[in-house]
Structure 1
Amino acid sequence: MGLAIDASCDIPQGFLEANRVTVMPITVRVDSETFLDDRGTEEVRRFIDRKLGDRGHSAETEPCSVEEVQKLFLEKLVLEQDCVFCLTVTATRSPINDHVNKASFAVLKHYREAREKGGLSGQFLMRVIDTRNLFAGTAPAIVEAARLVKAGETPPAIRERVTYIANHSYGYMLPRDLYYLRARAKKKGDRSVGLFSAVLGSALDIKPLLRCFRGETGPVGKVRGFEHGAETLFGYAVQRVRAGLLVPVMCVSYGGDLAELQRLPGYAGLRAACAEHGVELMEAPMSITGMVNVGEGAITLGFAAEEHEAEF
């Protein structure tokens, strides 16, 4: 059994390599430049080093098409594994889940021919799971899926458990630049960040704390100043670690050099709390897709817990 994710799921490269996770890439075009977002560290570094700044909000992103997903499976994955779980970001914010679901029909129809040519027999299973979250918020479901695959659990048991974790995963985001966020939202036809809010927020240095839960995104708090916002968000994460998590992992992604993440106020406290409670603290560079959608320098944070109200 194996796993596949789309590139905008923020999870460390080391984890992907250790668990042989296949990444379905996203093509990102900014003016005349093209980036292949496959979570590879070199391409992320090239994007950051180019300092695209305000131009990023006008980027065009193209997730794997239905045909590209079919090709990936029929030419590679059906020859390597007997069952693949595909985990994607929430279907409410990206077409990738729909593309993978549509591709699955053709894959399940034609895999026998591909496997026979490769000298393989037996059934192939492809299961698509909507993590119902974004960026680092997808990590708990991916980590749990990898654990269950290693444990040799049955496909139905894996699907049931991972779906449960997806429905209890919380993703939080602290943007750095509200003007950028509004410009990107406007390009995509998303009215969730109004001009008045962006202007007022930038003038007063007020940042929203945004949450994604079960596919729905929206503000759950506001703070003055990015560094104070980071301290508030990390402090909240410490509370959740102490209260208990459904998957012993806290994932943080950052839209820039991860060395900057270490210096943010409150981060050392989160690291200490995770160590004390046996929770793995994962650090991942934000995907190129994530950076063009929410701006460089943003923080996202994800964990799975019993349902609760956010308190900021």
Structure 2
Amino acid sequence: MRMGLAIDASCDLPRQFLQQHDIAVMPIAVRIDDSVFKDNRDPAEIQRFFDLKLGSRSHSAETEPCSVEDVQKLFLDKLVLEKDCVFCLTITPSRSPIYDNVVKASFAVLKNYRRVREPLGITGPFLMRVLDTRSLFAGSAPSIVEAVRLMQANETPAAIRERLAYIAENSYGYMLPRDLYYLRARAKKKGDRSVGLFSAVLGSTLDIKPLIRAYRGDTTPVGKVRGWEHGCETLFGYAADRVRAGLLVPAMCTAYGGDLSELPTLPGFDKLAQACEECGVALMQAPMSITGMVNVGQGAVTIGFAAEEHQVDF
């Protein structure tokens, strides 16, 4: 059985990894003033976003996740011809409509795939499985990395789905924002009251940054740090401790809302890299998606991993 993966563009993974494993990306359209970006994890498009220096105005951006019709087209024009089973992994539906769009599209795909495949002599059923990663940004990455491993091991679709549901339930995504004023402006634009004006002003005045966790579909602050550099050390130090404690998927996923060459130079990253090397864990580095940057601001740092449930103490 030919198996494949499709993800939405806000799932942060290196471009090389996506290409190596032939992972389809469902794009997101981003409009900022008169500029339109196709967020499909293309490094050239991310660089264009940086070059236009739109970061300070990005909080007013409009984002349009891949529509039901676009998902249908991607599958019926391409994926049903190339694969026999495709797992679609998306960020949590509490933060984006993309999961619901893919579920709706799946009904039409499963109804119409035979008329596309049979004229080309492709027999047998086509399976489409839609999974919520229960996280976002780098927090969605462990499920995708595990899906690749399971497919390479020739596991059955049923076994893969069961395992991915377990990994999603135990995936942790953390974010350290750089600019609270931006985060508050974007939250206001989207009608999200999670970052109030008083908190933004107080935090910026005292240089206090929140550490935000995405876990089991919920996104909430779980700690505070003084100073962005100290926040990096705290976040990467925590990640190194989790690596040494043992992960469910041998990968620590990191993403950065800026020039990716800066990520390894951030305070504490070297200690995380050392822990990963000692424990045989892949340390993945990816640029944050354009969608991620317009939602939380440039310069944000995120990490994602899968681990057994544990107490967080920042």
Asked if these proteins are the same fold (TM beyond 0.5), I'd say yes
SS at match of 1:240: helix
SS at match of 1:307: coil
Paired residue for 1:232, among 234, 240, 259? Answer: 234
Q: Which amino acid aligns with 1:260?
A: E
Q: Deviations over 1:264-308 (max 9, x none)?
A: 110001000000000000000000000000000000100000001
Paired residue for 2:171, among 166, 169, 181? Answer: 169
Q: Which amino acid aligns with 2:105?
A: A
Paired residue for 1:3, among 2, 5, 13? Answer: 5
The residue aligned with 1:61 is: 63
Structure 1 outlier segments of 4+, above 3 Å: none
The residue aligned with 1:92 is: 94
The residue aligned with 2:84 is: 82
**Is residue 2:211 matched to residue 1:209?**
yes
The answer (yes or no) to whether the contact 2:177–2:299 under 8 Å persists in 1 is yes
Shift of 1:60: 0.4
Counterpart-to-counterpart distance in 2, 1:48 and 1:88 = 25
Shift of 1:172: 0.2
Counterpart-to-counterpart distance in 1, 2:174 and 2:139 = 7
Supply the RMSD in Å over aligned alpha carbons: 0.6
Shift of 1:119: 2.5
Percent identity at matched positions? 72
**TM-score for both structures, normalised by structure 1:** 0.99
Paired residue for 1:23, among 18, 25, 47? Answer: 25
Gaps of 5+ in 2: none
Q: Deviations over 1:185-207 (max 9, x none)?
A: 00000000000000000011100
Shift of 1:117: 2.6
Counterpart-to-counterpart distance in 2, 1:49 and 1:306 = 41
Counterpart-to-counterpart distance in 2, 1:173 and 1:249 = 17
Q: Which amino acid aligns with 2:33?
A: D
The residue aligned with 2:118 is: 116
Q: Which amino acid aligns with 2:296?
A: V
User: Which range moves more in the overlay, 111-120 or 217-226?
Assistant: 111-120
The answer (yes or no) to whether the contact 2:4–2:83 under 8 Å persists in 1 is yes
Counterpart-to-counterpart distance in 2, 1:137 and 1:7 = 13
Paired residue for 2:298, among 290, 296, 302? Answer: 296
Q: Deviations over 1:22-58 (max 9, x none)?
A: 0000000000000000001110111112111221000
Q: Which amino acid aligns with 1:86?
A: C
**TM-score for both structures, normalised by structure 2:** 0.99
Counterpart-to-counterpart distance in 1, 2:234 and 2:253 = 16
Gaps of 5+ in 1: none
